[in-house]
Amino acid sequence: MYARRRRAYFLLMGGCLVLFVSAWAVVRLWSVPVAVGMCVVAMVIPPVAAVIANRRGPEDRWWDDPSGDPGSDEWWDELDGRKRRP
């Protein structure tokens, strides 16, 4: 799942760079408004790519990973009903 999110992120960011570079290297020679529009679209892509890259899938079990603090982990386990208090 991580590889799919990473690939989607790099594809979106690559598309962003292609849009931006082609807008000002090629398209501006024919139409400046179209080049500006391409840059506006390229401006929207990075936040969308970040959201896609940080999205968790239903099989990602991040909420029940141990935090590393034994006291906190015991408290959460007790709260979740995993361990009974002796």
pLDDT tens across 5-17, in order? Answer: 889 999 999 999 9
Which residues, other chains included, contact 18 with Cβ-Cβ below 8 Å and sequence gap of 6+? none
Is 62 strand, coil or helix?
A: coil
Give the tokens for residue 4.
Answer: 């799919």
Q: With contact defined as beta carbons under 8 Å apart, do 68 and 46 qualify?
A: no
Query: pTM, whole model, 2 decimals?
Result: 0.64
8 CA to centre of own chain:
9
pLDDT tens across 34-65, in order? Answer: 999 999 999 999 999 999 888 876 666 566 67
Give the tokens for residue 17.
Answer: 């760079």
Question: What pLDDT is recorded for position 59?
Answer: 62
